[in-house]
Amino acid sequence: METPRRDFIRNAALAGAALAASNAYAAGNGPRIKVGLIGCGGRGNGAISDFLEACKVLNLESEVTAVGDAFKSQADAVGDRLKLAPERRFHGFDAYRKVIASGCDYVVMATPPAFRPLHFAAAVEAGKHCFIEKPVAVDPVGARAVIATGEVARTKGLAVVAGTQRRHTASYVKNKMLIDLGAIGPIRGGVVQWNGVVPWIKRRTAGESAADYLARNWLNFTEMSGDHIVEQHVHNLDVAVWYLGRPPVSAVGFGGRARRETGNQFDFFSVDFDFGDDVHIHSQCRQLAGTWGRVGEMFTGADGSCFGGGRIKPPAGRKLQEPEVKFDTDNAMVQEHVDLIRSVLTGKPLNEARQIADSTMVAIMGRISSYTGDMVRWTDLTRDAQSPWYNLTLSPAPADFEGGKVTLPEEKPTVPGKA
């Protein structure tokens, strides 16, 4: 892995090259940036806006070639906002294929996480640069598939950027650089948290198919989202993996449910991630209204402490030489698209497939341990084919939605252990 200082020097060079390239494009000496959107819900709506804003930041013309969603109403809502012709709006569980074939060079993927490995593979096979929302899978098989597809993208020279915006935030990048330069000594432990509320719930309507209900209420089903430790808390777990520079060795967790109104997920998780060398990170996440909330990360080093992208506290008497970190915009959710496009323009495509798949796998580790009450090792999901969790796949699978063979999972959580 390159050091953060080298990353910064490299990014500065890329910025200059991209500026020259983008000026040439804006002068009419190159093609417009053509992008297709798969998934027209709230995240997809925001992601396509961020992508188009990134084109403006880089002084590039852009065109949305098509949008697609499982539901016509959502595809039309985004299509209306973007003033797309009806023939450039697709709906149904095979809409992603039509978006990919619409003449785009980039694909923004913001469907429920369960679909991510399938859609990513199709986009890379078709030679598209990809923005892929987090998390990228709901089970170990899916996460490993994303890693494999990411390597195919690398051989094809395709760019892949994930929706982990903290990695594209100046304050987080600066603190990572300081930690690597020894500002707080080696990280000895910490806590990462996402304590909030259930973002939304949907109830099944009369006559609604199992496939449609799962697609509408995906946030509350493990089979679709991975549970909130995977779908949401992956942001904080990703910071821990990033700052420590390695995945955990094992996870031991617990959780439960008392209040959630639909689906089959937990209300809360508490997981001890052992990163080896006596380093433990406490992962805590909760979706429960009327309770104390906090989203963030804190790490204790041998000589000081760091609060995610916030305050960093070195030992008394040690002066920090603050590294200069500049980005094109203060909006990290736009910056990640700037970084994607710039990497393509300069012929040095970013590839974040492995890092987001690894962080997704860490979150899946925590969920499996909490659901089963067992210790789950990193090797159980990544290398040990004899592990009961190595080949774990959740059902229904993405292909089932296209084939019309979707069975609704029970709307109750698993209960580990015995009374």
| pLDDT tens per residue across span 50-68 | 999 999 999 999 999 999 9
Is pLDDT above 70 for 21? no
- Rounded-to-integer distance, Cα 96 and Cα 111, Å: 10
Checking if the pLDDT of 15 tops 60, the result is: no
For residue 75, is pLDDT > 70? yes
- Write the single-letter amino acid at 133: E
Instruction: Report pLDDT for 27.
Output: 44
Which residue from 397, 376, 396 is spatially nearest to 388, judged by alpha carbons?
A: 376
**How high does pLDDT run on average in the chain?**
93
Residue 29: pLDDT band with limits 50, 70, 90: low
**Above 90 in pLDDT, residue 11?**
no
Distance CA 306, CA 312 (A): 4
Output Rg (C-alpha) for the chain, integer angstroms.
Answer: 21
Examine the pLDDT at 252 and tell me if it is beyond 90.
Answer: yes
pLDDT bracket for residue 316 (50, 70, 90): confident
Predicted confidence (pLDDT) at residue 16 exceeds the cutoff of 80: no
Task: Give the pLDDT confidence of 369-392 residue by residue, as tens digits.
Answer: 999 999 999 999 999 999 999 999
Cα–Cα distance list, 223 to 114, 160, 360 (Å):
7, 24, 14
Q: For 115-136, what is each residue's pLDDT tens digit?
A: 999 999 999 999 999 999 999 9
Cα–Cα distance, 32 to 345 (Å, whole number): 12
CA distance 46 to 348: 26
Is the bond leading into 135 cis (omega within 30 degrees of zero)? yes
Whole-number pLDDT of residue 31: 55
What is the percentage of the chain residues whose pLDDT exceeds 90? 87
> 387 with 144: CB under 8 angstroms?
no
Instruction: Sketch out the chain's domains with CATH numbers.
Output: 4-166+330-351 (3.40.50.720), 184-324+358-403 (3.30.360.10)
Identity of the residue numbered 160:
V
